[in-house]
Amino acid sequence: MNTTTSDDPIISQPRRPVDAHEPTLTAVRDSKLEDTADFLLGHPLEFINQHFDPSTPHDDLAEEFQIILVDKQQPEAERGDEDGESSDELGEDIDEFSILPVLHTVIVSPMSYERLNREVTTSEFDFEGAAKIAKSFFETRLNGDKLAAEFLLLHLLSKIRHRKDGHLSGFLPLNISGFSPLSANGVSAGDSVFDALAQVIPRCCRVPVNLSDLASVRFAPGQFLEKTPKEKIVGLSAGELQVPDGTWLVVDELGLEPGKLNEQATLNVRHLSGLVADAKIPYAHGFGAGQQVAEFPMDVGVVILSATKSILPVDCVVPIDPNAVLGNEETTAADLDKIRELIHRCRSVSEYAIPSEIEKVSTSFFTHKRKTDSTYSPEQFSLRLELARSLSLLVGSSKMTMQAWRRSGELEEERARRLAEAKKGGSSSSGER
C-alpha cells in the first residue's frame, strides 16, 4: 500500500527501490556517527530501504531497515508566558536533537547468541580450553595473580537467579584489593581491568569513586533543579547507576583519598552501598512535598578495585599477591571470541542441580564448620556454593561436581590465608564485613 505525501515532515514519501549507486545502510553501519548523520540528513522525508544479503551474517537481524527523518526546521511555537512575552518552552532543547535520527521500534524479538555470532561453533565446545585462555587473559590484567584471575572469571559467570526475604541467590560482588596506583606494566589498574572486561562482556560501566566525583555526580535518579534564582524543579535526572540488567559496574576506588564528604557524596556512598548489599537502587519521583522514593531491583555485576579495604559492604575480598609474576602471553582475537562464548554459555544455563551425595557432603561441612568456627557464617557458605556452581559450569556441567566442590574449598582457604596475612601485617588493604 502506498503512503500519501504531505507537507507534514513526519509523513513519509512512497517507497522506492534503492539506487545501485546510492550509499546504503551497509556502508553507513560501519561509518562514523557524523558521517551517518550527514548521509541520513541528505535523504529527508523518505524511507531508506536496505535488504540484507542472505549470504551475509546479518540476514537474521531484520529483513529491512526503514528510517524516516523529521525536518530539522521546527515550527516556532507562539505561546505567551505569565508576563505576556512570546516563548517556546521546548526551545533549544528540540534544536539540539533535531539532527539525530530517531528509531521507533515496533517489534522486538530476542536474538540468541548463536544467531548473532555465526562463527560460534555448533560442535562440542571446549570449556576447559576456553577457561584456561580466560584465566591467562585476566592474569595479564591483574599483575600475574592467578587466584585473583580465577575469582574474577568465576564472578563473571554469576547472576541473580532468585530473591526472597532480602536474600539474593547468585549475587556475587567482588572486591580485588591491594592495588598500587599503577600496575606492573605502568598502566592504571582501573584502566587495565576495565579494558579487559569491556572486551569480553557486552555491557560494562566504570564508576570512579573519589571525592570530586562523589561530590558532583548523581548516582541515583532524582529531581533536576534549574540553577536560577528561583531554583525551580524542571524534571527528573538519571543517575550513574541507572543501567540495564546484565551490566557490569567497575567501581574504581583507587583514586579515593581521605577527606570530607558533602551531602551529595554521602548520598552517593549510601546508594552505592545499597546496590552492593541488596542489588537495588532508589528512584526519586514526584515534586516538592509529594516526592517519593521507590527502590527497584537490579541484576548487575559489581567489581570493586581498591588500594585498601573497600568502603562498601562486600563479602568476597581477594587481596592481590604482591609477589605474583606477570607473564607476557598475548591474547588473540580468536581467544577473545572463545572467552565471550564461554561466559555466554555458562551464564545461559537455566537448569542446575546439586546431586544428593554432594548435598550431604556440603551440609555436613557446614554443620562441622559452625561447630569448630563460630565466626563462619551462612553468607560464607553461600559464597562457597556459588563458587562451586561457577566451577561446575566452567567444565560444561549443569550439575555440581565433586571436583568443583573441593576446588571451591581450596580457593576459599587461599583467600582466607591472604586476608589473614594482610591483617597480621597491620594492613587494612582488605577484609570481610
Give the DSSP per-residue string, 382-418: HHHHHHHHHHHHHTT-SB--HHHHHHHHHHHHHHHHH
Q: What is the pLDDT of residue 339?
A: 95
Q: What is the pLDDT of residue 118?
A: 52
Contacts of 105 (CB under 8 A, 6+ apart): none
Q: Quick check: pTM over 0.85? A: no
Q: Where are the beta strands (DSSP E) in 267-324?
A: 280-285, 292-297, 301-305, 316-319
H runs (alpha helix) in 10-61: 25-29, 33-41
CA distance 317 to 268: 22
Q: What is the pLDDT of residue 179?
A: 87
Contacts of 85 (CB under 8 A, 6+ apart): none
Decide: residue 93, CB within 10 A, 0-12 exposed, 13-18 middle, 19+ buried: exposed
Q: What is the pLDDT of residue 8?
A: 39
What would the grid cell of residue 339 be? 572467552
Buried (b) or exposed (e) across 382-413, using 16+ Cβ within 10 A?
Answer: bbbbbbbbbbbbbebbeebeeebbebbeebbe
DSSP 3-state assignment of 80?
strand
Number of H helices and E strands in the chain, helices first, is 13, 15
CA distance 170 to 382: 9
CA distance 159 to 375: 27
Q: What is the pLDDT of residue 295?
A: 87
Splitting the chain (433 residues) into consecutive groups of 10 residues, what average pLDDT does each group show?
Answer: 39 38 39 45 40 41 44 47 49 54 62 56 80 95 93 95 84 92 67 93 91 88 62 67 91 89 90 92 69 84 92 93 80 93 91 94 95 92 96 95 97 94 62 42
CA distance 79 to 396: 65
Output phi, psi for 204, to 5 deg: -145, 135
Q: What is the pLDDT of residue 158?
A: 92
* DSSP letter (8 states) at residue 2: P
CA distance 175 to 193: 12
Is there a contact between 48 and 28 (Cβ–Cβ < 8 Å)?
A: no
CA distance 153 to 144: 14
DSSP 3-state assignment of 243?
coil
* DSSP letter (8 states) at residue 120: S
